[in-house]
Amino acid sequence: MRGGAARAGRGFLLPGLLFLFAIDLVPLLYSAWVSLYNWWLLRPRDVRFVGFGNYAGLAADPEAWRAVVVTSLFTAGAVVVEFLAGLGLALLFAQPFRFLRPIRVLLLLPLFVVPVVGATMWRVIFHPEVGVLNYYLAQLGLGKPAWLSDPTLALVSITMVDAWRTIPFMFLVLYAGLEVLPAELFEAAAVDGASRWQSFRHVTVPLLAYIMLVALLIRGMDAFREFDIIFVLTGGGPGTATQTIQMLNYRVFGLGHMGMANAIGVVTLALVAAMCLVLWRAVLPPRREAAPERP
Partner 1 sequence: MKPTRLRAVLTATVLVPVLAWTLFPIYWIAAASFKTELALYARPPRWVFTPILDNYQRVLYNIPFFQYLTNSLVIAVGTTVGSLVLGTLAGYGFARFRFRGSSTVRFLVLVTRMAPRMVLVVPYYLLMQKLGLLDTYTGLLIAYVSFALPFTIWLLIGFFVDVPLEVEEAAMIDGCGRLGVLLRVVIPIAAPGLVVAAIFAFLVSWNEFLFALILSGVEAKTLPVVIAGFSTDVGPLYGEMSAAAVMVMLPNIVMTLVLQRYLVRGLTLGAVKG
* 182-241 positions binding partner 1, by CB under 8 A: 210-211, 214-215, 218, 221, 224-225, 227-228, 231-232
Q: Is 286 in the site for partner 1 (CB under 8 A)?
A: yes
In this complex, which beta carbon is closest to partner 1, that of residue 30 or of residue 65?
A: 30
Candidates 58, 79, 164, 199; binder of partner 1 (CB under 8 A) is: 164
Candidates 79, 87, 90, 266; binder of partner 1 (CB under 8 A) is: 266
Q: Is 116 in the site for partner 1 (CB under 8 A)?
A: yes
Q: What is the 3-state secondary structure (H, E, C) of 21-66?
A: HHHHHHHHHHHHHHCCEECECCCCCCCEECCCHHHHHHHCCHHHHH
* 8-37 positions binding partner 1, by CB under 8 A: 8-13, 15-17, 19-21, 23-24, 26-28, 30-31, 34
Least distance (Å) between residue 235 CB and partner 1: 9
* 37-96 positions binding partner 1, by CB under 8 A: 88-89, 92, 95-96
* 95-114 positions binding partner 1, by CB under 8 A: 95-98, 103, 105-114
How wide is the angle at C-alpha 149 spanned by C-alphas 145 and 155, nearest 5°? 90
Residue 250 makes CB contacts below 8 A (sequence gap 6+) with 227, 231, 236
Q: Is 142 in the site for partner 1 (CB under 8 A)?
A: no
Piece of the chain touching partner 1 by CB under 8 A; list 7-15, 49-57, 73-81, 191-199: 7-15
Least distance (Å) between residue 112 CB and partner 1: 4
Report the residue count for the chain: 295
Least distance (Å) between residue 276 CB and partner 1: 5
How many Å separate Cα 254 from the centre of its chain?
A: 24
Burial of 127 (0-12, 13-18, 19+ CB in 10 A): middle
Secondary structure of residue 257 in the 3-state scheme: strand
Q: Is 1 in the site for partner 1 (CB under 8 A)?
A: yes
In this complex, which beta carbon is closest to partner 1, that of residue 5 or of residue 60?
A: 5
Tell me the C-alpha distance between 193 and 171, whole Å: 29
DSSP 3-state helix, strand, coil percentages of the chain (rounded to 5)? 75, 0, 25
Least distance (Å) between residue 59 CB and partner 1: 18
> Which residue from 30, 15, 9, 24 is spatially nearest to 259, judged by alpha carbons?
30
